[in-house]
Structure 1
Amino acid sequence: MNEPEKKFHYGWLIVFGCMIMVFCCVGLAINVFSIFVTPLAEELDLTKIQVSTVMSMISVGSILILVFSGRIYQNYSVRIVMFIFGLCVAGGFLLFAWCRTLLQCYAAALLVGIGSGGGGMFPASLLITRWFSTKRGIAISLSAMGSGIGD
């Protein structure tokens, strides 16, 4: 008896792409930020507590964008919006290179937070739900592993 040939499900490539996006938007943006505390404090002559509040601004940016993420992803292409949020994370970290005051660091952190909140697990779960009717839990878990790669 012939068994049907199993084809590769394209959704697993989507899971891999989501894992990379979660790594960039969550793993790098949030989990790795503590690496920058000491150099940023020394460069700008700030206390570590002042620099640590920058992380709070990343969280504020994430919270602010998550309020609107559902509507954004409902009205626009997931691919384009994820790309824009990825650019926000990259642009925010690029802005950190030019920061000379704590207020400028807050602005850069808000941009990183917006990208992190909008480009992290929310769109990954949307995409995976669209591509999988079974094995969704495994697929979402694999994409969420991206956040831990940066640790």
Structure 2
Amino acid sequence: MCCLAASSIGLCTNAIGVFYTPVAKSLKVLKGTFAMHATLSTLATALTSLKMSKVIKKYFYKEVLLIGVILSSGATWLMSYSTSVYLFYILGILRGIGVGIYGMVSITVVITNWFDKKHGLATSLALSFSGLSGAIFSPLLSS
């Protein structure tokens, strides 16, 4: 769960700001125009998260996670080939949906099922890895 928090929240949300300047220059748009894709991604994550507890209970957990990881990773990979800010917006939304599928709700549901006592502590510990990965990978990705 620590690795899920690090990848879904830490890398996809906390470390994304390092790409604003170089990508905005490459696309010849303002940083704020490019940053809108992150806003759309976060909004998609929030909206997807609203429905995830029901989806996790209804379908096989590993398949749901795999769909989220493939969607998020695929959208991020396709961003590396994108030459349009509007395509970044669409891919940001797809990445946000993927993060919503395998992110916050999935982590808390699994931890709540694993721990009868102190699941709040376990959740806090796992989600702290999102900040840790953001702090570690932001300078690495900047360089």
**TM-score, normalisation: structure 2:** 0.87
The reply on whether 1:137 has 2:120 as its aligned counterpart is yes
Gaps of 5+ in 2: 136-143
* Identity in percent: 26
Q: CA RMSD in A?
A: 1.2
After superposition, give the CA deviation of every residue in 1:98-128 in whole Å (9 maximum; x if it has no partner). Answer: 1111110001101111122221121111111
Q: Give the drift of 1:135.
A: 2.1
After superposition, give the CA deviation of every residue in 1:19-63 in whole Å (9 maximum; x if it has no partner). Answer: 101111110100011011011101111111101111111112112
Q: Highest Rg: 1 or 2? A: 1
- 1:36 pairs with one of 9, 12, 19: 19
> C-alpha distance in 1, partners of 2:66/2:134?
20
1:150 is paired with a residue of what secondary structure? helix
Q: 1:107 matched to which residue of 2?
A: 90
Q: Give the drift of 1:71.
A: 2.2
Gaps of 5+ in 1: 1-17
Q: 1:20 matched to which residue of 2?
A: 3
> C-alpha distance in 1, partners of 2:121/2:15?
25
Q: 1:86 matched to which residue of 2?
A: 69
> C-alpha distance in 1, partners of 2:45/2:117?
30
Q: 1:68 to 1:137 in 2, by over 3 A?
A: closer
2:82 is paired with a residue of what secondary structure? coil
> C-alpha distance in 2, partners of 1:24/1:85?
12
Q: Give the drift of 1:67.
A: 2.8
Give, as a single letter, the amino acid of the residue that structure 1 aligns with 2:62. Answer: R
> C-alpha distance in 1, partners of 2:51/2:23?
31
> C-alpha distance in 2, partners of 1:46/1:83?
34
Q: 1:56 matched to which residue of 2?
A: 39
Q: How many residues align?
A: 134
Q: Give the drift of 1:81.
A: 1.1
User: 1:66, 1:118 within 8 Å by CA — same for their partners in 2?
Assistant: yes
Q: 1:20 to 1:89 in 2, by over 3 A?
A: same
User: 1:21, 1:86 within 8 Å by CA — same for their partners in 2?
Assistant: no
**TM-score, normalisation: structure 1:** 0.83
Per residue, is there more helix in 1 or in 2? 2
